[in-house]
Amino acid sequence: MLSRLKLAAPLLTLGLLTAGAASAQTPVATTDSLTLDATIKAVMDANPAITSLEEQVNAAQARVAQSRTGYLPYVTGTATYARVDPQVKLPFGDQVLQLAPNNNYDAHITAQYMLLDFGKNDATYNLAKAQGVTAADNIVTARRDLAYNAVQLYYNILFMRESIKVQDEQIASLQQHQREMEKRVQGGVSTKFDVTTTQVRITQAQNAKIDLQNQLHNQQTQLARLLHRPEYAEMPVRGSLAYSAAPVDVNSAIAQAVENRPEVKLARDAENTAEAQLRLIEKSNLPSLGAQVQAGGKNGYIVPNLERFRFNTVAAVQLSVPIYDGNRNKNQRVEASANARSAQSRTQDVQESIRSDVRQAANNIEASSARYANAETQIAQATDALTRARARYRYDVGTNLDVLDAETSLAQARLARVQAIYNYTMGQYQLKRAVGEQIW
């Protein structure tokens, strides 16, 4: 029995956060206990990783707003002063003609506007928008993972509690059997050896209970960390495991998963981002046509007064045509095309992985259901065997070892049933996660 308990521990830590029908899902939270829904909500509210991702979404939205500025004029104001010595001076009759002032003042406002960029601004905007969608979908994925972490820890705690109850029942039954042995020893019907053998089994059962209690405390510690409540020695989780069979339509689940899984959305986001990056690189090597208007004032006009500050305007149109960039843009297009093809292949791989996840979840549910049925049969058989072993021992036609073995078999069958219920419950949540169903 102890070896089976040790095998149950990895299932708790390696179980794929999968879902189940359990009666603990009452959506009412109290101040001294946590239901499943209350646990998930508390984990969501307490985790700073969600806040961090939300700020990344805000940053992405700001980048989208920045990309829109390419459609608007760009206006700047400039004021300069320059002292130039010496200046050229020419004799002119009785006077000296100075060609430029020593003190130069210039103040103007410049407005620039891109008249035609052949889609570069559009490409920049589309890339920023695609990156913003990815940031938003990352929040969905993070919330999903947090929710299923909370579900796993919640049911791990319930599983450990149920397993400890089974151990308590076995210990109580063995202790009752020990008291009967002691009476038989006093009556001279049994030997002290039978009492000692029973005590050994009690000690083994108590050791198994200690291991389960340690695992329970570890699960509670992990949940406290997830809730950012390290001061809680024991998390006030409320609920119980319950078995409720439900049919699984694998084909329908696969179709739902391919449509709803956040991993698929993120893979498609990566495709869109790669395509947007490629479009931007293709546009970046095209000509651009811009206009500029400048109005302001400056001194330095020779006639009639060199120092006089005068109003002036400038208007210009500029055409920029890239001629040669050392094949940089060509190599950038090659890189971006490779990234786009890689993103497409990644999407196909994610879809295949999701189909596999759904099938594995369905297989786990089916196996757990079969194990539950077997456990029920084993409990009935072990209960009957224990009753018969006790009766045989009572009439001195059986041995104490037969009774102890029957006690152990019954405890193992009960633990197997608890394990089957836990696996089935987690299998249901595994299926929910596989199809992309939200539980928060």
Tell me the per-residue pLDDT of 173-193, one tens digit each, with 9 for 90 and over. Answer: 999 989 988 888 888 877 889
- Say whether pLDDT at 56 is over 80: yes
Tell me which residue range forms the domain holding 291: 76-87+99-116+287-321
In a domain, 24, yes or no: no
Total structural domains in the chain? 2
In a domain, 7, yes or no: no
pLDDT number for residue 68? 86
pLDDT number for residue 233? 59
In a domain, 51, yes or no: yes
Statement to judge: residues 214 and 315 lie in one domain: no
Q: Any alpha helices (H) in 187-297, and if so which ranges?
A: 192-226, 250-260, 262-284
What are the CA-CA distances from residue 238 to residues 24, 34, 44, 439 (Å)?
7, 5, 18, 18
pLDDT number for residue 250? 92
Please give the Cα distance from 3 to 364 (Å, whole number).
22
Statement to judge: residues 47 and 164 lie in one domain: yes
CA 167 to chain centre: 36
In a domain, 395, yes or no: yes
Average pLDDT, the chain: 86
Instruction: Please tell me what DSSP assigns to residue 29.
Output: -
In a domain, 129, yes or no: no
pLDDT number for residue 304? 74
pLDDT category of residue 28 using cuts at 50, 70 and 90: very low
Q: pLDDT tens digits for 149-168?
A: 999 999 999 999 999 999 99
Statement to judge: residues 251 and 103 lie in one domain: no
Statement to judge: residues 83 and 212 lie in one domain: no
Statement to judge: residues 106 and 250 lie in one domain: no
Bond before 10 cis per omega within 30 degrees:
no
* CATH code for position 270: 1.20.1600.10
Please give the Cα distance from 369 to 387 (Å, whole number).
27
Q: pLDDT tens digits for 352-382?
A: 999 999 999 999 999 999 999 999 999 999 9
pLDDT category of residue 232 using cuts at 50, 70 and 90: low
pLDDT number for residue 228? 81
State the DSSP H helix or E strand holding residue 318, giving kind and residue range, or none if neither: strand 310-320
Statement to judge: residues 205 and 303 lie in one domain: no
Task: Show the tokens assigned to 181.
Answer: 């042995």
Please give the Cα distance from 167 to 155 (Å, whole number).
18
High-pLDDT (> 70) share of the chain, % = 91
pLDDT number for residue 296? 94
Q: Are 372 and 420 contacting, i.e. CB atoms less than 8 angstroms apart?
A: yes
pLDDT number for residue 51? 83
Please give the Cα distance from 15 to 348 (Å, whole number).
26
Q: Which of 296, 321, 346 is the last residue of a domain?
A: 321
- Mean per-residue pLDDT, 214-235: 82
State the DSSP H helix or E strand holding residue 331, giving kind and residue range, or none if neither: helix 328-394
pLDDT number for residue 23? 33
- Mean per-residue pLDDT, 273-287: 92
Task: Show the tokens assigned to 260.
Answer: 């709803």
pLDDT number for residue 106? 93
- Say whether pLDDT at 7 is over 60: no
In a domain, 57, yes or no: yes
Task: Show the tokens assigned to 327.
Answer: 């094949």
pTM, whole model, 2 decimals? 0.73
Main-chain dihedrals φ then ψ at residue 316, nearest 5 degrees: -150, 150
Residue with tokens 């179980």: 15
Nearest CA to 340 among 280, 262, 404, 389? 280
Nearest CA to 287 among 62, 116, 111? 116
Residue 330: CB atoms within 10 Å: 12
In a domain, 152, yes or no: yes
Statement to judge: residues 143 and 62 lie in one domain: yes
pLDDT number for residue 426? 94
Statement to judge: residues 306 and 332 lie in one domain: no
In a domain, 20, yes or no: no
Statement to judge: residues 299 and 393 lie in one domain: no
Statement to judge: residues 365 and 405 lie in one domain: yes
Instruction: Please tell me what DSSP assigns to residue 315.
Output: E
Q: Are 430 and 422 contacting, i.e. CB atoms less than 8 angstroms apart?
A: no
- Mean per-residue pLDDT, 261-271: 92
pLDDT number for residue 70? 82
Statement to judge: residues 368 and 249 lie in one domain: yes
Statement to judge: residues 263 and 334 lie in one domain: yes
